[in-house]
């Protein structure tokens, strides 16, 4: 049995956070486990609030899972405070957890700050170097680099800067690009583009959560990074088409 864990926030409306992550794990044959870092209050349009969990509560959720299962991948989403970031970094280091996919969740599309700014800096310093791949969207790439990230060229510059700072692979997601949804991957080998088509009129809430979890599930099955990203993008597109057809 391939087991993965998501360490992320709960979106009770199911579009983002751990509920979306678990569905993505399952779609790729991974048994999903989860630790909740924050209980948010939201629906698919708006975040109303967030009740962050204390760091020791986050640790208490993860340790027994690690004790029982041999985890094949770790998806990290919303880590709201410095203390929670430190606990997660410490657990990854001490247990040598494999296939760490870090989605640096900072702010919701609707504009709600999901972590505080000093925590965003700490996430970059402490956790990015422990990740195999970091998956910021364009807004998150701007906050993490201090660069302007509005087009493909700027995405490439930000991806390279983050890769060099963290020495991990970086996928800057172009879902907010007007003309396409192309993503930029920077690894030690260089830059690779993943072309995507914008799916107009779809509700994109939670697409970042699904993508990073689908990448983690594919890495857990032994796929190479580029193939894991391709398969994850296909999965996210198929969920967007399905949601659009059903709405």
Q: Would strands 3-10 and 71-76 be described as parallel, antiparallel, or unpaired?
A: parallel
Which lies closer to ligand PLP via its Cβ, residue 102 or residue 157? 102
Q: Which residue is nearest to ligand PLP (CB)?
A: 9
Q: In the chain, at which residue ranges do the beta strands (DSSP E only) sit? A: 3-10, 31-42, 47-52, 71-76, 100-102, 133-134, 169-172, 183-187, 190-194
The answer to whether residue 196 forms part of the interface with ligand PLP (CB under 6 A) is no
Q: Is position 239 an interface residue for ligand PLP (rule: CB under 6 A)? A: no
The yes or no reply on residue 108 touching ligand PLP (CB under 6 A) is yes
Secondary structure, 3-state, 66-129 = HHHCCEEEEEECCCCCHHHHHHHHHHHHHHCCCCEEECCCCECCCCCECCCHHHHHHHHHHHHH
Residue 205 binds ligand PLP, judged by CB under 6 A: yes
Give phi and psi for 6, each to the nearest 5. Answer: -110, 130
If the CB atoms of residues 11 and 183 are measured against ligand PLP, the closer one turns out to be: 11
The pair of three-digit structure tokens given for residue 78, joined into one six-digit string? 């919303």
Residues 28-57 that bind ligand PLP (CB under 6 A): 40, 47
At how many degrees (to 10) do helices 225-246 and 207-220 cross? 140
Q: Does 173 bind ligand PLP (CB under 6 A)?
A: no
Cα dihedral sign, 23-115-45-43: positive
Give yes or no for residue 209 binding ligand PLP (CB under 6 A).
Answer: yes
> Which residue in 117, 93, 95 sits closest to 106, CA to CA?
117
User: Shortest Cβ distance from residue 84 to ligand PLP (Å)?
Assistant: 13
| Closer CB to ligand PLP, 8 or 141, in the complex | 8
What is the x/- site pattern for ligand PLP, positions 76-105, by CB under 6 A? -xx--------------------------x
Residue 152 and residue 51: Cα distance in Å, rounded?
36
CB of 216 to ligand PLP, least distance (A): 14
In the complex, least distance from residue 90 CB atom to ligand PLP, rounded to whole angstroms: 21
Q: Known catalytic residues?
A: 173, 204, 206-209
The H or E element containing residue 226 is helix 225-246
Q: How far is the CB of 106 from ligand PLP (least distance, A)?
A: 9
Collapsing DSSP to helix, strand or coil, 168 comes out as coil
Residue with Cβ nearer ligand PLP (39 or 165): 39
Question: Which lies closer to ligand PLP via its Cβ, residue 110 or residue 224?
Answer: 110
- Chain contacts with ligand PLP (rule: CB under 6 A): 8-9, 11, 16-17, 40, 47, 77-78, 105, 108-109, 205-206, 208-209
């Amino acid at each position: 049995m391939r087991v993965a864990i998501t360490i992320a926030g709960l979106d009770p409306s199911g579009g983002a956070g751990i509920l979306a992550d678990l569905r993505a794990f399952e779609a790729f044959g991974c048994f999903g486990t989860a630790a909740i870092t924050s209980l948010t209050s939201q629906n698919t349009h708006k975040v109303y609030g967030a009740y962050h969990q204390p760091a020791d509560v986050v640790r208490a959720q993860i340790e027994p899972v690690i004790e029982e299962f041999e985890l094949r991948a770790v998806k990290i989403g919303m880590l709201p405070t410095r203390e929670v970031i430190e606990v997660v970094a410490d657990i990854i280091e001490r247990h040598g957890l494999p296939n760490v996919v870090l989605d640096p969740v900072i702010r919701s599309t609707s504009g709600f700050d999901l972590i505080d700014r000093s925590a965003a800096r700490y996430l970059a310093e402490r956790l990015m170097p422990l990740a195999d791949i970091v998956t910021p969207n364009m807004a998150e790439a701007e906050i993490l680099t201090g660069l302007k990230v509005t087009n493909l060229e700027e995405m490439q510059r930000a991806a390279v800067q983050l890769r060099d700072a963290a020495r991990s692979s970086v996928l800057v997601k172009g879902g907010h690009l007007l003309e396409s949804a192309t993503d930029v991957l920077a690894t030690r080998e260089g830059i690779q583009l993943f072309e995507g088509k914008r799916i107009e009129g779809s509700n994109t809430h939670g697409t970042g959560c699904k993508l990073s979890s689908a990448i983690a599930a594919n890495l857990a099955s032994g796929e190479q990074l580029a193939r894991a990203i391709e398969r994850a993008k296909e999965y996210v597109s198929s969920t967007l088409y399905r949601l659009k057809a059903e709405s």
